[in-house]
Amino acid sequence: MIARTASTPLITLHPFGREDFARLISWVQIEADLVEWCAAFFRYPLTDTQLENYVESAKQPNSRLIFTARSTDGEVIGHIELSQIWPHLSCRLSRVLVAPNHRRRGVASSMVAQSLLISFDQYFVDRVDLGVSAANSAAIGCYARLGFRQVGTWPNAIGTGSSTIDVVWMTVTRDTWVRSDQVP
C-alpha cells in the first residue's frame, strides 16, 4: 500500500528486521535523540539485543507492526510503528523516526499517512492515538496537518536525568482524518 500527500515523497513501508538494526542504531547516537524518539521504551545506548526483543514482541497478536520506510529507489529513510492494535476500535502510532539526512522533506508525513491507511483500511479502527514531546513542534505540526488533534497534555511525563518532558496526546478519528489528497 502506498500513500502520500501532494507535497511529500512517495514511500513504501516494509517489515522491520535484523538487517535494519545497525542503521536504526546509527540514527540515535545520543541519549537525548533516543528519548525524544521513544521516551523510555528503549534504554541508551540502543543495542541489537533490545531490537531483537522489539521484533520478537511484534509476534504477539495485535501487539505491533514495525516498519521501515523506503524511498522509490529502495533507500531506507524512516522507521514507524503501529501498536496496541484493537481492530474496529483503536491503535497507537509509535516510534516515528526519519533518517537524519532526510528530515524536513515530508518523509514523516508520508509514513504517517501510510500508517493511517493501514490503520483505517486494514484494521478498521475508529481512531489512532499518539504521544509526542510538547517541545517537538515539527512533529506536532506534521500530525496536525494529517488531522490529529490535541486531546490532552501529560506534564512531566518522562524523566531525563535532571529534567522532564511534557507529552502532548493527540488523536485522529476515522471521521476527521484529512484524507482527500493522501492517496495517489
Domain ranges for the chain: 2-128
Q: What is the CB-side half-sphere exposure of residue 33 using CA atoms within 13 A?
A: 13
Contact 177, 133 (CB under 8 A): no
Cα distance between residue 88 and residue 120, in whole Å = 9
Q: Which CATH superfamily is domain 2-128 in?
A: Gcn5-related N-acetyltransferase (GNAT) (3.40.630.30)
**182 falls in which pLDDT band (50, 70, 90)?**
very low
What lies within 8 Å, CB to CB, of 5 at 6+ separation is 106, 109, 110, 113, 145, 146, 181, 182
pTM higher than the cut 0.75: yes
Query: What mean pLDDT do residues 152-171 have?
Result: 90
> Does position 163 have pLDDT exceeding 60, yes or no?
yes
Q: What is the CB-side half-sphere exposure of residue 120 using CA atoms within 13 A?
A: 19
- Across the chain, mean pLDDT equals 91
> Does position 11 have pLDDT exceeding 90, yes or no?
yes
Give the pLDDT confidence of 40-85 residue by residue, as tens digits: 899 999 999 999 999 999 999 999 999 999 999 999 999 999 999 9
